[in-house]
Structure 1
């Protein structure tokens, strides 16, 4: 052990500061030379030899001392005099990089590995106060091009890194850890693995906020991206297929809207039957505005091409009805799961329950979901409360499409048009701003489709022809009038129609409404 000589830092500010000696730290494998460089001494503290980290001012006067005890208590002498990080006085301001460790012994370990030539500093008050310590020395740290955080590889150290990295400007923060099985730089030095300390520093990774990707990783992601498959709408919606880039897709949420009695539910059920016929995917039907029995009978009516619920109630007793019902509702996929799952909750549903139902039905094999309609999920809370709830529901539904890789077709109502203008029931085409309740509907939907029909048209064909308009399509950007769909009164099915504006009343007054004109 060597006593402090005349070149040792002088004391200042407190007569209570201890005097001690430089000596190597055998267990820690830290040399006397390193201790001398760092002014790290051993001294008598209440009759016991203790290691002491001395804190110096910029003019190398000792202003405070931190005593290390066997039970890892760290009493201070003149703690309030500490300005800046431990070791900050050793290095000129600025440079290529500075390493920040969690404790003083780690700083000595890193410094010795680098022949005490390159900037290393330590937190003053441990991981629990890391953000405060870094903030207090931020001006000094920012003079370096790289700030490498080399904290303890434990829960407290990782938490501290997560706090500190947000305080540093973009591009400045780099992070490294001791390899698995070792907590910090001191552990590595004690194990005779000083080379691993150097490896950790050279292998530090630049911190980037989560989600930022650049360079070759972008190309890798692009090449490895799975092909997104579209599932076409029926042939009677050929223009809609073109305008949407091929139909519906998993991971997307589409909204259908119209005024009252425009036929949107009929179109949705036509799509449900179409995807039953043309895809292997199971569907969940959540129709909150009608009893389950109505949903089932309407699908059977589309399948058999007969409006039996209106014209022939006795049809339900026939083998044809039974056959169609079994084909639809006893059909299963190759895992034995039903192709159709109907939710029986006429009139109301809590939105929290909806998310649980969607997750459950997805677990049961459903990939295509239909929700009719959004407004019934929202309580009659006035003003901003309704808008906030709709925003929340839309955000969660959209998130579920991505998380579960499902498709959701949603029906939403329109707000009442301003007075004086043409009503939706008289053929007015809605806009995105006509969606009822919230901007979140148009913002979070991948596609928004409006249905308009003049219920009071002079021609029977015109009044039974719905216009499908694309108000938004995120994939293609194509908007405007798509298809015209004619409702056949005899079959209850939709067939391809023509622009009702081109229909002459006289030409069709005596025609059968069979969709051929």
Structure 2
């Protein structure tokens, strides 16, 4: 979304220049904080939404004398001066480009700081983003296009970009371009020195990973004022001396009374009621690891949790590296239909399939990663951080950690790689508040195999002790795949191996797979379960 017009009078009458109209016709006053619909606007300053979406042709480049910006800088950014085809007034045009470097939108600046936009901003990145390669040491982000060009002219080689719509929507712009910004080691926010600008810089810094954001302080209003006044050296100095953003977080114990006496709430329920007894439910901001032997149903268990979270209204992202997105979709839709539609011979009408799709995968609260196999941990973390911070998902499913590291050049030090990955996952959970369900494999048991129903212990987690150490909850699934009776083969013990929340561990539930519906249903404990499970055992 882009602003069609900015800095005009508000219909509320409280402000003469704090009102803006976006490209769907709605307006917002940043003084009274009210929104107004496209129809029925009565203020004189509100003009009709511009219908012309055709981009203006480039009309050569020139110096901007009033701004002290040179022609070659304008040419590099594609910023040009021309005549408004309707009014004949002189206007300045800032191009916004897509990921392929094509101009898809333009922000037009007219007299008295009146703005309107052309084209499709939904496909556009930041102003000047096409000039900055993905990944690098430092990147400057400014509050306006003129400031970005001023910074680049002063710094010469360092890249500078601008958010599209000013301080009021700066954090949203950062979220929309999070993957690009996170690829840099340091992001320097060089916003206006007024209160809105500095507040916006703080909000933007909070979106990025800890230690990445820096905030520059200028002695004048903005970067262009520094350039116009000939204080270029001070502008360069502000770039290098920008302070690393550190959120306020240290509080006195005497100030936490309300938190201390607040009743602890039950977590978000699991699909199997008995599990909520030991775990007190699942919580955002926690990392839960699920583990079992090969082919024991780890993915199926977590899929039931995915479905239940969606049913409760939460936003969920699914990163399943051993199946394609079609299989993921069929799995969730099948749960809704109570039919294993991923298997041949399942007859379901197109109408029922559509209903299941819109209730699960197509509900608007579900995201998938279209990727099969291993991927670099930096690439994975960038995508997960975008899901958590950019899209605001409540829970992320990662299936599974072993395949993440399988394609890396780990040499003989797989443990170190997993340690590092688990630390990054733990950090993401802490900084974003997202809940995470992680699937991990087990080492082979010495005697009775896990596929034969052997009891699981924390020490059997494959690859690294960090998996258990950094998880809030570790849950094992035990099942005898080779039992004589079908009932025993389809019965799983859900065992809590670690529980940081309450400390309670042990068997939390018994769950049986129904092959007719494809569902995992809790069953009441019966003493003969243990006998069925052990009837083939020699131990």
Q: Structure 2 length normalisation: TM-score?
A: 0.49
- 384, 394, 397: which is aligned to 1:367? 394
Aligned partners of 2:475 and 2:498 also within 8 Å: yes
Give distance in 1, aligned partners of 2:403 and 2:504.
30
DSSP 3-state at the match of 1:329: coil
Change (3 A) 1:415 1:463: same
Q: 1:327 aligns with which of 338, 359, 363?
A: 359
The equivalent of 1:493 in structure 2 is 519
In structure 2, the gaps of 5 or more residues are 1-218, 220-246, 533-539
Q: C-alpha distance in 2, partners of 1:323/1:441?
A: 38
Residue 218 (1) aligns with residue 246 (2): no
> Which one has a bigger Cα radius of gyration?
1
Between the aligned partners of 2:411 and 2:315, the Cα distance in structure 1 is 38
The question of 1:306 aligning with 2:334 is answered no
User: Using a 3 Å threshold, how does the CA distance of structure 1 residues 492 and 345 change in structure 2: closer, same or farther?
Assistant: same
1:481 maps onto 2:502 in alignment: no
Which residue pairs with 1:472 in the alignment? Answer: 498
Partner of 1:268: 302
Choose the corresponding residue for 1:453, options 474, 479, 492: 479
Change (3 A) 1:373 1:235: closer
Structure 2 distance, partners of 1:293, 1:429, is: 34
Of residues 388-397 and 218-227 in structure 1, the stretch that sits farther from structure 2 once superposed is 218-227
Alignment of 1:440 with 2:475, yes or no, is no
How far apart are 1:452 and its partner, in Å? Answer: 0.7
Cα separation, 2, equivalents of 1:500 and 1:269: 26
Aligned 1:112-511 pairs, distance under 5 A:
217-221=252-256, 223-224=258-259, 229-234=265-270, 236-238=272-274, 240-244=275-279, 246-278=280-312, 280-315=313-348, 318-331=350-363, 338-362=364-388, 363-379=390-406, 385-418=413-446, 421-499=447-525, 502-503=528-529
Q: Residues of 2 paired with 1:352 and 1:361: CA distance? A: 14
Please tell me whether the aligned partners of residues 229 and 249 of structure 1 are also in contact (alpha carbons under 8 angstroms). no
Deviation string, structure 1 residues 225-280 (Cα, Å, up to 9, x no partner) = 67765433335242x21211x211111101000001111111100001111112x3
Structure 1 length-normalised TM? 0.51
Shift of 1:469: 0.2
1:396-449 per-position Cα deviation (integer Å, ceiling 9, x unaligned)? 11111110011011000111112xx11000001210000000010010000000
Three-state SS of the structure 2 residue aligned to 1:308 is coil
**Displacement of 1:224:** 3.8
Q: 1:404 to 1:213 in 2, by over 3 A?
A: closer
Structure 1 residues 235 and 250, CA gap change in structure 2 (3 angstroms): closer
How far apart, CA to CA, are the structure 1 residues paired with 2:530 and 2:439?
32
- Offset of 1:307 from its aligned partner? 1.6
Equivalent pairs, count:
284
- Structure 1 residue ranges without an equivalent (≥5): 1-180, 182-209, 332-337, 507-517
Distance across 2 between alignment mates of 1:487 and 1:330: 26
CA RMSD of aligned residues (A): 2.6
Q: CA deviation at 1:379?
A: 3.4
Corresponding position of 1:143: none
User: Secondary structure at the residue paired with 1:262?
Assistant: coil
The structural deviation recorded for 1:327 is 2.1
